[in-house]
A and B are shown apart, each in its own frame.
Chain A
Amino acid sequence: QVQLKESGPGLVQPSQTLSLTCTVSGFSLTSYSVHWVRQHSGKSLEWMGRMWSDGDTSYNSAFTSRLSISRDTSKSQVFLKMNSLQTEDTGTYYCARNWRDWGQGVMVTVSS
């Protein structure tokens, strides 16, 4: 059974760095890509980036150089790090595989 689960802090201060973890089970990170997607409250979905099965990464240029995605295959985890957070980065962050399988999401609020 494929599962993805996001974890991380619910509150981050402006200008600080967001660190999220996606822990997967039921499949191997060396066989499938994992995406990170953000959703502002009541809004559509925004693709942030992707960890490919071979370890390569792709990013949405909208996040310029703020975003970094990495992984630890031994722990079946994919990591998201985004720096210089602003209030507009408040939202729910999801990890997903193939758009078929999604985590439950983690709500992040950027506020002092």
Chain B
Amino acid sequence: DVVMTQTPPSLSVAIGQSVSISCKSSQSLVYSDGKTYLHWLLQSSGRSPKRLIYQVSNLDSGVPDRFSGTGSQKDFTLKISRVEAKDLGVYYCAQTTHFPLTFGSGTKLEIK
């Protein structure tokens, strides 16, 4: 199985600051079609997860451009600029290149 290693496990940040979350996979996430199926999800407290970014860097509809995703092969980063209170929750990276589909262990973002 592809292991998704997320760091850090938790972050405490002041409103307005920027943060980055790392996600490293144990195998390349480039599929045979040339695309990289690495996604970022946010799970707010008591809620279902929701996707923010798909295929490394594409923002889902309604997601502010304060969020950005970068990376390739096995190394990926989610950056949140100008953090707002509504950004708190647990962020997961997820890969859908290889079966079984797998998720990172999560990064909990707290607001100072």
Q: Which residues of A contact B (CB under 8 A)?
A: 35, 44-47, 50, 58, 60-62, 94, 96, 98-100, 102-105
Q: How far is the CA of A96 from the CA of B99 in the complex (A)?
A: 16
B60 pairs with A61, CB closer than 8 A: no
Q: How far is the CA of A58 from the CA of B98 in the complex (A)?
A: 12
List the B side residues contacting A102 at CB < 8 Å: 48-50
Q: How far is the CA of A47 from the CA of B96 in the complex (A)?
A: 10
List the B side residues contacting A99 at CB < 8 Å: 39, 41, 49, 51, 54, 94, 96
A46 pairs with B103, CB closer than 8 A: yes
List the A side residues contacting B92 at CB < 8 Å: 44-45
List the A side residues contacting B100 at CB < 8 Å: 47, 60-62
- Can you name the residue of chain A whose Cβ is closest to the Cβ of B61? A100
Given contacts A99-B39, A99-B94, contact A44 B106 (CB under 8 A): yes
Interface size on B, residues (CB 8 A): 19
B111 within 8 A of A: no
Q: Which residues of B contact A (CB under 8 A)?
A: 39, 41, 48-51, 54, 60, 92, 94, 96, 99-106
List the B side residues contacting A98 at CB < 8 Å: 51, 54
Q: How far is the CA of A60 from the CA of B106 in the complex (A)?
A: 20
Q: How far is the CA of A79 from the CA of B99 in the complex (A)?
A: 21
- Can you name the residue of chain A whose Cβ is closest to the Cβ of B104? A44
Q: How far is the CA of A103 from the CA of B99 in the complex (A)?
A: 22
Among A47, A61, A103, chain B packs the most CB atoms within 10 A around the CB of A47
Given contacts A99-B94, A100-B54, contact A45 B48 (CB under 8 A): no
11 interchain pairs (CB within 8 A)?
A44-B103, A44-B105, A45-B49, A61-B100, A99-B41, A99-B49, A99-B51, A99-B94, A102-B48, A103-B48, A105-B48
A58 pairs with B94, CB closer than 8 A: no
The 8 closest A-B pairs by CB, nearest first: A102-B48, A47-B101, A60-B100, A45-B103, A100-B51, A99-B51, A44-B105, A44-B106
Q: How far is the CA of A102 from the CA of B48 in the complex (A)?
A: 7
List the A side residues contacting B106 at CB < 8 Å: 44
A35 pairs with B104, CB closer than 8 A: no
